[in-house]
A and B are shown apart, each in its own frame.
Chain A
Amino acid sequence: MIVRELGEFDGVLSENDDLMSIVTESRSQEISDDSFIPRSYFDLALKRIEWYAKKKNDRNFDHKQYDFLFNPDINKFDVIAFFLLCQAIGVKYGPNSRESRVLVESQGKLIENRLGKLSKIERNVLVTNILNSLLSSAHIKWTFFEDLISSKKLKLHELILDSGEIILDKDDFLERFSHKIQGRKPEKMYEALIGDRIKELVMIKMVMQNTENYIRQVGERSNREIEPNPILLELADKISEVLLASVQTFGQGSGGYGGSVKASALNPKAFPPCVKKVMEGMKSGGRNDAIIMFLTPFISYARLYPAVFSENITKQISDVDPTLSIIQNEILPLIFGAAERCSPPLFEDQPQDKVNLNAKLGFGMHQNPELKNEGETTWYTPMSCEKVKIHLPSLCKPDETCKKIGNPLSYYNRKIWVVKKESKAESAVEEDIKD
C-alpha cells in the first residue's frame, strides 16, 4: 500500500515543501490567504473534501482557491491524500456513512472536472487507458456491472446491450449494427449513443464503485485490527467537521447534505402527484397499500421529520411529537380522510387495517397510537419513487419536479419553497390543510 511507504504515517502531518510549491505555482491558484494552501498530506486530504462540500453547498464558492487540485503535478500527492481519506473514513465510519458517500461522490466529480480540463484527444486517450486497466477484456458482460446497476450509478437502459454484452468500442458497434441502421450515419449514431460520453460515464462510475469497495474493505479489516492509527482517527473527525461547517454556513436550498428542512404544518399544494392522487381516494385495487404503506409514512414524515433522508438519523415519532398531539390532530385525520374517500372506504370493511397503520407509525400492532407501545415496530420511512413505480404503478404520474428527485418526500421538500414563494406573492391567506 502506498500509504505504508510514508513510513507508517510519519510524513502525513509534516509540512511538505514540494507540495506547497506545486500548490502555489498552480496557474490560477488564489494564494492571498494562508488557509488556502495545504501544507501536508493531511491538509490536502481535507481540501479535497472541502472542495466538494463547498462546491455543492456554497453559493460563493471560488474555484480559484482549489485550482491546485487540477494541476497535473499534484498527482502523486493526491493519490496519497485519496488513500488517507479512504482509510480514515473506512476505519471510523464505514462504507454506509455520509462521509463515505461524500468521498465517493467527490472522487467522481473530481475526475469529471479534471477530464474537463483536457483536450478531446487527451481525454479520449486517458479514458481509454483507464478503462482498459479496469476492464480485463473487450467483451464485457452487463452482469459485470451488477454493483453499478444495483446502486443506480449506471442505468441498464442507458447502456447499449447486445447478446449480453455492453457495447463500448466503435468497431464493435459498427460490426454489429451498421447493416441495420437506415438513413443515418452509423458513425455519428455511435458518437451520440455511446462515444466518449458513455465510456467516461462507465469509467467514472467504476472508479466510484472501486472507491466504495475499498472503503468497505478498510472498514472490514479495521474491525479485526486492534488499534486504528490516531492520525486516521483525527483525519476522520476533521472530515466530519468540514462537512458540518459547509452545511451550517451554506446549508438550506440545494438539497445538499443535512439541508435542514424544518418540520412545519403540511402544505398539500406541495404534495407530489402520487400523494395528491391517493388523497383523492383510491378505487378498489391497491387502496390498502396506497394508504398504509405509501401515504402513512409520507404524511407522517413530511409533517414531523422531513429531513429524515438528509439527516439520516433514525427517530421515533415521540422524539418530534412528544405528546402525540400532532399525530392525533393533524396526521391521522388526513390519512383517515383519504381512507374514507376510497371506494369502498378502507377502514369500514377492514378495521384490522388500522392496526397495520398504527404499526407503520412505530406503535406496534394496536388499534391506536399510545406512547407505551412505541418502538414495538419501526416508523416506516417513505417509499422511494422506484418502489412506488413497482408496488403502486398507477399512482406515479411524474411531472417536471419529479425528474429531480428520487423520493416523494424530497419532492415535497423542494416544492414547499416554491409554493411558499408563490403564495406569498399571491396573498397572505393561510391554506387550510384539512380539506
Chain B
Amino acid sequence: MVKIEYLTPASPEERKRYYREEWNIKQVPEYIIQSIQEREFGFDHVGRGPNDRYKVFRTPDLLKRFLKVRTPFAAYCSVAFYDKPRRRDRWTKAELVFDVDAKDIPVRTCECEGVCEICLNEAREIVLGIIDTLKGDLGLQNIHVVYSGRGYHIRVLDNDVMSVNTDVRSQIVKYLVGADVPENEYSLDFEKVSYEHFVIPFGYPNVFTKRVKYAILHLNENSELDEVNKKLLKDVLKHRQLIELDNWGMFKNKIGPQRYRKVIKGIASMNMSLVDAKVSIDLKRILRLPSSLHSMVSMKCTEVKNIETFDPFDDAVPKFVYER
C-alpha cells in the first residue's frame, strides 16, 4: 500500500539532488526535444506559480544547464508552437491536450483528500477510454500520455488537429467525455424509430454508452447527480450489475424509462468534469514538463510508455523519497 510520505513536498535540497543526480535530458520526450526552439518554457522557482515565463531554449543542452543550475520548484513547457516563442509571437499550432486530474474526477470510489492509488488508477481508466475514442472515432494516432504527478495529460500531436481552434476543441472534449445525451428518436419517411444509445454499437452513441457505464459502475450512495434523488440513485445502484453485463434494456426497464433519462442526463452533465476542459481549449497553455519534479507531491512528471501497465508508485517516484 501507498505510504503517505510519497505525497509530501520536496525540500530544496531534495530538488537539488533530483536535478543534479537523477534527472536526465533523455527523459524529456522526443516530441518536445524536436520542437524545443518553437516552444515557450515557464518556471516556478519558489512554489508560488510559474512566473518566470517566456523562456526559450535553442538547444536541449541549454535546457539541461538551466535545470541543473536552477533546480526549479516546477518546470513547464507550452503546448503551443510559435515562430517567436520568446514573445509568444506568431502562434503556429498547439497540441490537443486533455488533463485528467485524479482529485477532480467527479466519481471516485476512494474518499481520499488529495490523490491516492485508487483514484490515480481511476484516472488511468478514464485516460484509456479517451485514448480509445481518439483513435477509434477521431482517427488520431500521434498520442502521448504523461503522468503529471496528480493525474495524467493526454497530448495529441497529429497535424490535423494541432491547428484547430478553441471551438472545435471544445466540441472534441464534449464528444470524448460523453457530455451530450444522444438523440433517441429518429424520423424515417413515414415512421419514427427509436434507438437508445446502447443499441447503437458505433459512433458517438457508443462512446456515450461506455462513459455512462463507467459512471454507473463507479457511483456510490453519496454521489450527486443533477435531478437524481436518493431513491433513484439507490435503485441505480441496486440494479447496476445489469449494466456490468451490458444488459441495458433490462436495466432501463427496472429503473423506468423516464427515470432512466434523468439518470443519463445527470451523468452527461457530470461527464463534463472528467477532464479539465479549460486546459483543452487553451491554445497557449503551459503544461508541466515531463521529466521535471512535481515538488508539491515529490513525484516525477513522467512520460508514460505503456499506459496499460503504468504504475506511478513504481515508475514516478524519485530516488530521494526512498531515502527519507
Does A116 count as interface, using CB distance less than 8 angstroms? no
Q: Which of A350-397 contact B (CB under 8 A)?
A: 386, 389-391, 393-394, 396-397
Stretch at the interface among B71-79, B82-90, B159-167: B159-167
Residues on B with C-beta less than 8 A from A396 are 269
User: Are the CB atoms of B161 and A143 closer together than 8 Å?
Assistant: yes
Bound CA span A192–B200, Å: 11
Smallest CB gap from A176: residue in B: B202
**Known contacts being A150-B167, A152-B167, A157-B175, is A391 close to B136, with CB within 8 Å?**
no
Number of B residues with CB within 8 Å of any CB on chain A: 40
Residues on B with C-beta less than 8 A from A167 are 203
* Chain A min CB distance to B3 (Å): 29
User: Are the CB atoms of B139 and A164 closer together than 8 Å?
Assistant: yes
Residues on A with C-beta less than 8 A from B29 are none
Question: What sequence of 0s and 1s flags, for each residue 175-195 of chain A, a beta carbon within 8 Å of any chain B beta carbon?
Answer: 011001111100011011101
Question: What sequence of 0s and 1s flags, for each residue 223-249 of chain B, a beta carbon within 8 Å of any chain A beta carbon?
Answer: 000110000000000000000000000
Residues on A with C-beta less than 8 A from B167 are 149-152
Bound CA span A396–B272, Å: 11
Smallest CB gap from A148: residue in B: B168
* Chain B min CB distance to A346 (Å): 20
Does A161 count as interface, using CB distance less than 8 angstroms? yes
Number of A residues with CB within 8 Å of any CB on chain B: 44
Choice from A152, A165, A191 contacting B139 with Cβ under 8 Å: A165
Bound CA span A164–B159, Å: 13
Choice from B170, B203, B272 contacting A161 with Cβ under 8 Å: B203
Max chain B C-beta neighbours (<10 A), residue from A155, A156, A197, A394: A156
Choice from B139, B179, B189, B195 contacting A141 with Cβ under 8 Å: B139
Bound CA span A192–B269, Å: 26
**Known contacts being A120-B189, A163-B136, A397-B226, is A141 close to B202, with CB within 8 Å?**
no
**Known contacts being A150-B165, A150-B168, is A390 close to B193, with CB within 8 Å?**
no
Bound CA span A188–B189, Å: 11
**Known contacts being A157-B180, A191-B188, A386-B170, is A162 close to B202, with CB within 8 Å?**
yes
Residues on A with C-beta less than 8 A from B227 are 397
Does B60 count as interface, using CB distance less than 8 angstroms? no
User: Are the CB atoms of A141 and B201 closer together than 8 Å?
Assistant: no
29 pairs from A and B in contact (CB 8 Å cutoff)? A143-B160, A143-B161, A149-B168, A152-B167, A152-B171, A155-B180, A156-B174, A156-B204, A157-B175, A157-B180, A158-B204, A160-B203, A161-B138, A161-B204, A162-B202, A163-B139, A165-B139, A167-B203, A176-B202, A184-B195, A184-B199, A188-B193, A189-B195, A192-B186, A192-B187, A193-B186, A193-B203, A195-B188, A397-B269
